[in-house]
A and B are shown apart, each in its own frame.
Chain A
Amino acid sequence: MQAFDYVRASSVDEVVSLLAQNGDQARVLSGGTDLLVALREGRRQAKLVIDVKGLAETSRIDYAPGKGLTFGAAVPCHRLYDNAEIAAAYPGLMDAATLIGGVQIQGRASMGGNLCNASPAADSIPALIAHSAIAVIAGPSGTREVPVEEFCIAPGRTQLQNGEFLVSLRVPAPAPGFGAAYLRFIPRNEMDIAVVGVGASVTLDESRTTFVAARIALGAVAPTPLYVAEAGASLVGKKVSAEAIEEAAKIAQAAARPITDMRGTAEFRKHLSAVMTRRTLEKAIARAKAA
């Protein structure tokens, strides 16, 4: 691997000033499951690797029912799904956390790293969007917050400006009647990259028969994970029915603009966009009814 210096950072300010001084010569390290592979293959260059796992802000998990969840950008997936309360309250996030790689990847890989890596096929991003997650960013002029659906701007590129890094993710408390899910289509059962991934959440009324709110996001069908606000909006006020779900799936499909690559043709991905949206909505609805 190329030579670089390594700093185990101990404060947010230290990370910001190191990033500001070193520009794109510096890379933030969370679990390293993307970064170390990219550095080894020469796809990324670094003179300085800044390990942010030691900061209280990036490694904490704060959860209180009714208040919501804030978790550090470097928290590895296994710490999320090992927490039974969080697993129950955020089922869409859990679907993604348990899908990323195998257990040894989940021991290191963070959702923050998944988001900052900005792959169009990243599994946690549609799930974070479905759960209305907010990215908390620190930089030279303080902290700012960005909805996750606005965070990625191109494959491998994010909102982050020079000197900025992702500190944590804030996820609102689920309302009564809330359910969410993330599903991906892959050719094998495990250890593969999504051909299409869909994150969906629904909030049903007290009788659990009518949609109060819904959010739908697709992965691997556009240069960035795609939030399709109209698809969710189409459900609001409607009775839960196969027709309403089909209609939302059609809207999501229309928004998808996939490419052809080794994992699937554009045509196949387009087809899958509707199928996977329907299945994911059905799962989210079942969970909302059970909640």
Chain B
Amino acid sequence: MSNKVRVQTKLNGHDVEFLAEPRQSLLEVLRDTLNLTGAKEGCNNGNCGACNVIMNGVLVNSCLVLAVEADGAEVTTIEGISLAGELHPLQKKFLEHAALQCGICTPGFIVSAKALLDKHPDPTEHEVRMWLSGNLCRCTGYDKIVRAVLDAADSPELEATRA
């Protein structure tokens, strides 16, 4: 077994240091070392998007990032999306539209949608569908998810999250 390496990150706005074996994925360390179990392991090979996090402003599959690669990086997980204890507009709209059933895909969808709205605040339905094509959902049939994201994009509260 390889030696553990010290990794320093800015995780959801806080300085966080951890030890990781080089072979461990960021997803594994988030869930098993740091107890941030919001990111889910669906496929562990980049296809489902349940593990998505935002790393240095870029949406990535945390199952396809080595934890040691996060050294010096800023990482936002689903746990860092809410604002001072209040749900993010995307989270509210997912609830309002009942855009989930079992919920295993939901953190990944919300993190992906957050990255979309950070880059394109006013997306078309086509843009939303293309952007979310790397997130799989076995339950909802996607339509409610797309409605929730479009509705969040229109919500005045979203403006406020940018200020």
Listed in ascending order, the chain A residues whose CB lies under 8 Å from chain B are: 1-6, 8, 29, 31-33, 36-37, 39-41, 49, 51, 53, 76, 78, 101-105, 107-108, 189-191
Contact = CB atoms under 8 A, between A and B. Distances in A.
Which residue of B25, B69, B71 has the most chain A CB atoms within 10 A of its CB atom?
Answer: B69
B69 A51 contact: yes
A4 B68 CA distance: 12
A5 B2 contact: yes
A191 B66 CA distance: 23
B65 A32 contact: yes
B134 A104 contact: yes
Contacts of B134: 101-105, 191
Given A40-B44, A104-B134, A191-B133, A3 B61 contact: no
Given A33-B61, A51-B69, A108-B61, 11 more contacts: A3-B2, A3-B21, A8-B68, A8-B71, A41-B45, A102-B133, A107-B59, A108-B64, A189-B133, A191-B133, A191-B134
A4 B44 CA distance: 18
B115 interface: yes
Contacts of B2: 3-6
A8 B5 CA distance: 12
A165 B58 CA distance: 26
B83 interface: no
Contacts, number: 91
Given A6-B5, A37-B64, A49 B22 contact: yes
Interface string B1-43: 1100100000000000000011111000000000000000000
Given A102-B133, A105-B134, A191-B134, A3 B1 contact: yes
Contacts of A6: 2, 5, 22, 66, 68
Nearest to A7: B22
B121 interface: no
A226 B58 CA distance: 33
A41 B44 CA distance: 10
A6 to B, nearest CB: 4
Closest 7 interchain pairs by CB? A102-B134, A6-B22, A190-B133, A107-B58, A1-B23, A104-B59, A3-B2
